[in-house]
Each structure stands twice: as C-alpha cells, then as structure tokens.
C-alpha cells in the first residue's frame, strides 16, 4: 500500500482528502477499516471522542444502531459525520466487551500545513497536528510533506459536561428497564421513538418503532427468549436525540 492510500484509509474519518481543507461536524477519531469493523488508530486530543473511554485498538462495530461491517470508507465517514451538536451512538468492542458511547459532534476543521509553524490559526483551537495521518501533537516531523492541523471551531464543550444537558434536553429519552420480556423507555416529551438492540458484532438483533410515545414510561413487550446472553448496546432515538446504553442480557 503506498503512502497516499495508507493515509486515506487511516484518516478519512475526519481528513478525507490530503490535499483539500474542509470543515464538518465530527467526533475526532483516526481509524482504519478491518473485517471486524472500524478499528480506532488514534484519538484526537480534546475532541468529543477523547472525553469517552474509546481508545486506540478498540473496534467500532455499529453507528447509530447500524452495523459497519462490510461498509466502505465513504459510508463510514458519512455515518460518523453529521450536524454540529447532533449526537451519534457508537457501539464498540474493547478488550472483549461490547460497550456503547453517545458522542455529540462538534465542528472540526482540517487544514493542510506547509510546516508546524503554520499550525496556529486565529479563532480556532488547535487540537492536533497530523503527519501522514498519525497524531503527532504540535511538534510534527521535520521535513514531512503530509502535515495537517485539526481544529475545533469556536468553544469546545466536553462530552462529560454535555451529557447531562443532552438528557435534560426537550425530547430526550432514556432506558428505564430492560429484560427478555419488556423494554421500558422514559420520554421527556411525547413523540415517536425507536429502539435498537445491537450485538457485539454491530448487528441489530431487534428493532422497535413506536409512533405515539407518551411523556413518561413507555413499555415495549417482546420475546427475547431466543436472544443469546451477553453484552448488548441499546440505542434509543427520539425527537432528534439519541441515547446509548450498555446492558448485560442473562
């Protein structure tokens, strides 16, 4: 694999082109595609992903309840990118456990650099310098032809501070109870909602849509007797918000 192909595979999640500047709603992760899913290669410091437990070596298996296995680079990039401040649910495997994180996108910018001295930009916070798709802090590598700066536009709100706001936001939902017989979802306001049960491979094993959810507790009765025990990620979408929860099904 030549240098350009390697760079595109590793960094396309937030720096799709090595030759063009761009801005987008993103989460700040460097990855490569594998048979298992999206393997995390690096995490951009101070990005939304950096505020979670996701780390290099973890494998993202589903994005917003949809498996990424067999997806191409463009499909994965489009799934991870989105509107600024819109949350995205990432199901991932870390050291054998299937976990889930809800991450709120921020407006990121990627700029081609002639040298590390060019990295600082007015009205933008520099998060990292990339050399050939690898995070190298703000030092870079002398003589490199593939330097890029990754920036956040405006004020960066940490994922830790943002999560309580998301749960309190109008239209938010959360999982109140889960068993093999019933799933209970608590809604802040009335409206349609969707629930997905995602396994460790990123496959959706069950999905449910309720068009007339009411404020308060809503119960979905289902037969989970044939679903194997193990760890699952539960994704709940409601009024433009997404909630992700890890559960252990016994």
What does the pLDDT look like over 185-219, one tens digit per residue?
A: 989 889 999 999 988 777 889 999 999 999 888 99
Read off the pLDDT of residues 86-120 as tens digits, 9 standing for 90 and up. Answer: 888 899 999 888 888 888 888 888 888 877 777 77
Predicted TM-score of the model (pTM): 0.62
Lowest mean pLDDT among 26-35, 44-53, 166-175: 166-175
How far apart (Å, rounded) are the C-alpha atoms in residues 128 and 44?
6
Hey, what domains does the chain have and what are their CATH numbers?
3-105 (2.30.42.10), 107-153 (no CATH), 169-249 (2.60.40.3080)
How far apart (Å, rounded) are the C-alpha atoms in residues 81 and 78?
5
pLDDT at 149 exceeding the cut of 50: yes
How far apart (Å, rounded) are the C-alpha atoms in residues 112 and 182?
52
pLDDT at 1 exceeding the cut of 80: no
Q: Quick one: pLDDT band at residue 80, thresholds 50, 70, 90?
A: very high
């Amino acid at each position: 694999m030549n240098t350009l192909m390697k760079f595109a595979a590793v960094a396309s999640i937030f720096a799709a082109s090595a030759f063009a500047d761009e801005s987008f709603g993103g989460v700040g992760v460097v990855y490569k595609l594998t048979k298992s899913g999206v393997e995390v290669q690096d995490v951009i410091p101070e990005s939304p992903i950096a505020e979670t437990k996701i780390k290099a070596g973890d494998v993202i298996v589903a994005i917003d309840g949809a498996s990424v296995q067999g997806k191409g680079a463009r499909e994965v990039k489009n799934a991870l990118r989105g509107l600024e401040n819109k949350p995205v649910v990432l199901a991932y495997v870390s050291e054998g456990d299937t976990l889930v994180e809800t991450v709120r996108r921020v407006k990121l910018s990627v700029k081609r650099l002639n040298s590390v001295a060019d990295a600082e930009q007015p009205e933008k916070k520099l998060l990292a310098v990339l050399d050939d798709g690898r995070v190298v802090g703000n030092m870079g590598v002398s003589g490199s032809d593939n330097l890029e700066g990754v920036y956040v536009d405006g004020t960066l709100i940490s994922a830790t501070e943002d999560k309580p706001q998301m749960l309190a936001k109008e239209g938010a939902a959360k999982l109140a109870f889960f068993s093999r017989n019933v799933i209970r979802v608590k809604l802040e306001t009335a409206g349609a909602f969707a629930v997905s049960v995602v396994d460790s491979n990123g496959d959706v094993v069950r999905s449910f849509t309720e068009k007339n959810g009411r404020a308060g507790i809503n119960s979905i009765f289902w037969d989970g007797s044939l679903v194997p025990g193990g760890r699952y990620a539960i994704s709940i979408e409601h009024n433009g918000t997404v909630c992700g929860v890890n559960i252990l099904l016994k």
